[in-house]
Structure 1
Amino acid sequence: MTTSEPLVVKVGGAAAVDPAGALADVAALRDDRDVVVVHGGSTAMDETLERLGIEPEYVETPDGVVGRFTDAETMDVFTMVMPGLVNTDLVVGLQNHGVNAVGLSGVDGRLLHGPRKSAVRVVEDGKKKIRRGDHSGSIESVNHELLTTLLDTGYTPVVSVPMLGDEGPDADPRFTAVNSDADRSAAAVAGALGADLVLLTDTRGVYRDPDDETTVVDRVDTPAAFTELQTVAQGFMRRKVMAAAEALRRGAPTVVVASANADAPIQAALSGAGTTVTADALETDDATADDEEPS
């Protein structure tokens, strides 16, 4: 019987992330706290694309955020790798720890649903451009009742993108599976459940100096501190800061960015390791994130 609010844990998909510690920690926490696992899979995606002779493509937005460009061919691989290979491996891992996990993609039960965005703004050769043909989306709704039903009956959901993209009421077909950034997907789930969010990655948190792991920003609980966090975050870490803000706006009490490779990484993050961002860090009129970012 759980005794506290639910927790959403996002397990990163970078090559340097070992999910074993996180899976064991979910098992250790399950008697005290409901946990929903959301996962990435960037390395598995890139390795599969390369085996198929497809070059992975990443683009940068005018705001300096780096993300994957998902064309039709990449989307086909994405639907095989993420809810197939990566999700299944994590579910099996949890089952081996005695956790009755259930794998879900965002299309199941309209778990993650929102409009498809077929064009994104990017910077190429120093010039701002519009890239069309993207297969990604912006999550507007989360079927939290599906997750709550599973949690209430003793299951641990393991959530993967793709999400269910809506082409519009006049489109035929109306719905399609599209990519969505895993950090932002986790943010949407945490917000819908009113749950704390832990983003486990291959660094100890957000660094003031990206080359010095001793410069971790430990706590962010004022708007001024959050502005500084946005300034120091570089590369893919900028997306995690964006996801933290989205989770807090949607209703998550706290977000922690921490190392997946620490001992008992989830419990360590909840005890102060990593970078903790609280709802007090956001201005009350803080603007929502740009929904034209690549996934």
Structure 2
Amino acid sequence: MAPKKTYARTDTFQNGRDTTGTFILFFSVSAMVHLIFFTALFFAPDIAPKRNFSIAAINVNLVTLADPGTFKKSIDNNTFQTPEQSVTQKAYKKPSKTVSLAPARKKVKKSLKKKTFKSDKVVKNAISEIQKKVDESRPKPISDALEKLRRKVDQGDPVRRLKDKQTNPLTGPITGVQGKSGAKGGKAPEIMQIYNAEIAWQIEKNWVFSEDFAGKSTDLEAALAIKILPNGEIKEIWFDKKSGNSFLDDSVYKAVMKSNPLPPLPKGFLLPYYTVGLKFGPKGIK
């Protein structure tokens, strides 16, 4: 059985007639309607009635005048000054202060405690406090060594004894001193022992080292020698023995360099330089 074929109808509005005139008629009517609509929109603002805004009115309350009787009473109560009184008051005005163009001098404040202030006592107290701080800052071994040497020197006249050893080469010139022993292997003079203690204290004052860098090693030891010129300048530094800990060795070397120059050598020292040896551990100079 063959399938049925369907065809679209194209003559719905034609019905066998020519529709060109109908299309033109509808197009003309639509164009006229649109033209009238847009014309009305264009002229609509002029046609609309204008609004009349009413002017706002302001209400003002007039103040009533006071009675003549009350006005007279107020005049009687007020006291008026006579012209003479007003003139005298104007005449006694305070004169204006004259301003000087010179620069103002600063007033020196004087202390009220001058009568009770005693400079001698203040100086003595300051010296004693500084001495206490210096003594406390020195390590204990050096302080003990200095104390022993001072006791020995104090057995005689300390001033004369030290001056003789420094200035008079006949009574005891200081020669061949190296470290803590002389050229002949004997004990160094007391003045050089004091000098050794002083330079050791000055170097240790500039020494910075934390025991944490040493770890568990407590037997670390760095030994170095210093060559000192008569004016106290450090000429040469070398290690006789290194500790094996780079932190300790570096800290010792830096402490010596920071202490340069050291105190001058005693005047009785006759050699061109003085060599001293120092030993450092994690806790300081040994």
Task: State the TM-score, normalizing by the size of structure 2.
Answer: 0.22
Largest Rg, 1 or 2: 2
Larger RCO, structure (CA 8 Å, separation 6 or more):
1
More strand by share: 1
Task: State the TM-score, normalizing by the size of structure 1.
Answer: 0.22
